[in-house]
Structure 1
Amino acid sequence: MYYILPWLPEVSQQKRVCPFLDSGFVHIHTPVITSNDCEGAGELFQVTPSSKIKVPEENFFNVPVFLTVSGQLHLEVMSGAFTQVFTFGPTFRAENSQSRRHLAEFYMVEAEISFLESLQDLMQVMEGLFKTTTMTVLSNCPEDVELCHKFIAPGQKDRLEHMLKNNFLIISYTEAVEILKQASQNFTFTPEWGADLHTEHEKYLVKHCGDTPVFVINYPLALKPFYMRDNEDSPQHTVAAVDLLVPGVGELVGGSLREERYHFLEQRLARSGLTEAYQWYLDLRQFGSVPHGGFGMGFERYLQCILGIDNIKDVIPFPRFTHSCLL
């Protein structure tokens, strides 16, 4: 068994530049151009050459390709060789949204860990990354952080210290829905089991938990992509998924245990009509696999969280969103 060392936000670690590298992770440069839609949401930017190809039926890559929505599937390939891997780079979502927390191009920190057998272990890494990184930022860039806290988000310093000194809470998706149903607040989207959690739900849950970051785990299988591990918990039928919700932002990190069992994955792909497109992914399990899991954290949302900035467009120099691509 490969033992995963958790990050502890100690003073001796505050000047570390990269918690991943310090914990034995290997940095992988995952491709920006890809033929897979990792999330399955269909929010893809397709890539085509600007000059017309002579043969109309011919494609530059012989298959349709897109700007990546996530480096996860590539990290899963590499985690079979290097056990603990991560990437940090741009990702793209063609989501028609003008909200304060969505961009068409944004950066994401993603990690994949082999020999990971429980969501508890995964959440420990997620919480450790948040706390260690935040303490490093506070240690190395105190003037910049204080400037934002003073003029943009008064009281954010206290909220941030509260997040750092308290353990993050854990509730199940089922518990989250029950909390929302009992809320005195009127929601735009009525909470019900089997429906996705919206931003208004996520923010309420964080406030309900005392403005402490909260992990929501075990979502309905129907809400999540094909690669998440089946909990085999009929009749609810959930998967081992986890979202980290934080004050002011809502969802910051999303992750799961991956389905390493060949026959489970084979059935999921067949039901979704994805067997041909993801045969290579299925082949990774054909001769055996290991339990593994991973997560992705939106970098701009992370900056929103620690700096107290309300609009995601204000934490990136050149924001790209619907109907706007200047320069």
Structure 2
Amino acid sequence: AVRLRVREALGAPEPLGEVRVQGWVRSVRSQKEVLFLHINDGSSLENLQVVADPSLENRDLTFGSAVEVQGKLVRSPHQMQNMEVQAETIRVVGACDTWSFPLKLKRRHPLEYLRQFPHLRCRSNALGSLLRVRSEATAAFHSFFQDNGYVHIHTPIITSNDCEGAGELFQIEVSWARQSAEETHFFNVPAFLTVSGQLHLEVMAGAFTRVFTFGPTFRAENSQSRRHLAEFYMVEAELSFTENLQDIMQVMEDLFKSVTSTVLSKCPDDVELFHKYIAPAQK
């Protein structure tokens, strides 16, 4: 049997013979003559419908359980979905107790509630869509710079310098230094989590005409608001031999257009989810 992800099964141009799909059950609906499942593996916002004989149902086949379905990929008679799987076997890989499972069927949980369950929140539509968009955007950033001849530089996360007053720094301390009466530093100088890779990129720009970095940065700003993140990923680039500000503005415009176009083309359903439910006034 051909192993398919849900995204691949939904986008298949034509029916296939024996296929195998693995994922987590989003809904179970048992009728007298047919059993319907909807499963998702995180590759798509849309679920894959599985049609099976009621005899394949068992007590462990519940919302949230992990399953492996084997059968035939056929065209779906429903207009909302291109393909579906006619199951021949359904194996429950991991059972789920629906009573204690914090995510409930057909309920839109607030983000504040989902933050309590970091090991399960990525199964929600909102967080799943966010992570898929981030993944495609990250790949698009790298693709743009690589296609335009930039060298990717891995700037250090632990550094001894600030970056032109970019923000408050997290200072690093080693555990054994706390037991010493004298002020002891691991590198013999104070060390911090980076607030920017700019200074290291500027050094590299003395040997490479085009460089960029994309990595985590940290800001120890004394604020607990949603507008201030202690950790986030930042894209930075340096160009040598620029003639004027227009050169830099053109790169920024091309980068923005390229990444936005990629995200909109590869994650249209995920973007629409945010426009509809998460930030309806931001479209």
Q: TM-score, normalization: structure 2?
A: 0.47
User: Which is higher, the Rg of structure 1 or of structure 2?
Assistant: 2
Bigger relative contact order, structure 1 or 2, given CA contacts below 8 A and separation 6+? 1
Which has more strand, going by share of residues?
A: 2
Q: TM-score, normalization: structure 1?
A: 0.41
